[in-house]
Amino acid sequence: MYIKDTIAAISTPVGEGGIGIIRVSGDAAPQVATRLFRGTTDGGLQSHRFYYGELVEPGKGNVIDEVMLVLMRAPRSYTREDVLEIHCHGGSLVVQKVLDLVLMQGARLADPGEFTRRAFLNGRIDLIQAEAVIEVIRSKTETALALAQHQREGLLSQRIGLIKDEVVHALALLEAYIDFPEEDIPPADYDEIARRTESAASGIEALLAGFREGRVLREGVAVLLAGKPNVGKSSLLNTLLREKRAIVTAIPGTTRDIIEEVINIRGLPVRLLDTAGIRESVDLVEQEGVRRTLEKIPQADLVLFMVDVSRPFDSEDELLLDNLAGSRFILVKSKCDLPAVMELPSLLLDAPSVTISTLTGDGVDQLRQVVHDTFLRDGAVDSREYVAISHARQRDALVKGLEALDRFSRNLALAVTAEILAIDLRDALRAVGEVTGETTPDDILDLIFQRFCIGK
């Protein structure tokens, strides 16, 4: 529910910083400025102009801080309401004091994401663009940021709009005859209706096909390094990170717990997990490390199954292979700088594999490429026009839309009445509208905006 009151919040991160920003949105924003600000305003606050002065406690005259202040009048603001920003020094105490004074002037503390929610409710952005705002903030790679910016700029919304237009035109043609049941729909109009609905279905299918890529760019992937002791897992972790993060020794079983680090592989956010070597052990700590490794394997998006080609394939390698059933993995044949003696079992002969040496660096770039290509099409996400859905909510709504169009296609072939066909198209429109927020229920909106920080 949208109540047109005035809200306020701190919009900069908690802690000390050079600048702190308090944001105010609503009809009372100009009055908050005039009550608290003391400085040269040339007879009034002009919109979108910064003013230098002091923030003063009303009635007492105490100077709270030296500030810069800007008022952005509706509709030329983030929320399409009057928006006030107060830029003060970034200490925790002074920022909180400024906020307290603003709240004392009648503003209410904003809920998480309430500024962006008002931008959505006031028609400045749609729901896709609103979701993209939080993804811009949380992006871990330049590629993920580019995808989020494309969504924020409306590229995905435009694609959804084209799909919606096709369904709307098909429905308009159909409804033209519903009020005149004695008239048959001409074959040419049936052909036009079928063409437009097929075009809409193809557009949805194309977006659904890109969901996996969009999701991994937004969320990243978990890649587990697994193998028996001393196959080079920790050395590979250090090589990929380009720093000495894990302890590397000639003593087997050095890694006892899971070490997790995040790297960027050509725009793909990757959580690397170095794990305890898989083997039978009487050491209770090492046993727990092995147990945790085996527990993590089914949860990983990809396992790098490392074997040492300078040693025979033995029971410890076999133990890990048995636990990889059902998991996606790449066979990493390490220590290729040493004479190779390993003979692989038949189960691994056709497995995707890379041969590497962390000592010389051979094969490491190829491994990075293989990991990248496992999840992303090479070069696809680099295009300025690249758009993809990246949220399960968006995918589920489009799936419902596609199901409605498939149902329409089947009913059209069965020559059912125009009224039934219109119901199918309205269902498709409602589902597509959920993606952009036109028909999204309030409880779903609540869940979406709760993911935002207060002040955004």
User: Which residues sit in the known binding site?
Assistant: 23, 85, 124, 230-235, 249-255, 274-277, 456
- Alpha-carbon gap, residue 303 to 336, rounded angstroms: 20
- Alpha-carbon gap, residue 56 to 273, rounded angstroms: 53
Residues within the annotated binding site for K(+)? 230, 249, 251, 254
- Alpha-carbon gap, residue 89 to 68, rounded angstroms: 10
Residues within the annotated binding site for (6S)-5-formyl-5,6,7,8-tetrahydrofolate? 23, 85, 124, 456
- Alpha-carbon gap, residue 147 to 213, rounded angstroms: 10
The residue among 260, 210, 240, 220 whose CA lies nearest residue 139 is 220
Do residues 213 and 376 make contact, with C-beta atoms less than 8 angstroms apart?
A: yes
- Alpha-carbon gap, residue 339 to 195, rounded angstroms: 63
- Alpha-carbon gap, residue 123 to 139, rounded angstroms: 25
- Alpha-carbon gap, residue 53 to 8, rounded angstroms: 20
- Alpha-carbon gap, residue 283 to 285, rounded angstroms: 6
* Residues counted in the chain: 456
The CA radius of gyration of the chain, in Å to the nearest whole number, is 29
182 phi and psi angles, rounded to 5 deg: -75, -15
Residues within the annotated binding site for GTP? 230-235, 249-255, 274-277
Residue 10: which H helix or E strand, with range?
A: strand 7-10
Query: 9: how many CB neighbours lie within 10 A of its CB?
Result: 24
Residues within the annotated binding site for Mg(2+)? 234, 255
The residue among 374, 359, 394 whose CA lies nearest residue 270 is 374
Structure tokens at 242: 């380009």
Please tell me what DSSP assigns to residue 451: T
Q: In the chain, what is the straight-line distance between the N-terminal and C-terminal CA atoms, in Å? A: 18
- Alpha-carbon gap, residue 354 to 356, rounded angstroms: 6
Structure tokens at 123: 């028609």
- Alpha-carbon gap, residue 72 to 84, rounded angstroms: 6
User: Is the link from the previous residue into 30 a cis peptide, with omega within 30 of 0?
Assistant: no
DSSP one-letter string for 95-126: HHHHHHHHHHTT-EEPPTTHHHHHHHHTTSS-
Structure tokens at 1: 């529910």
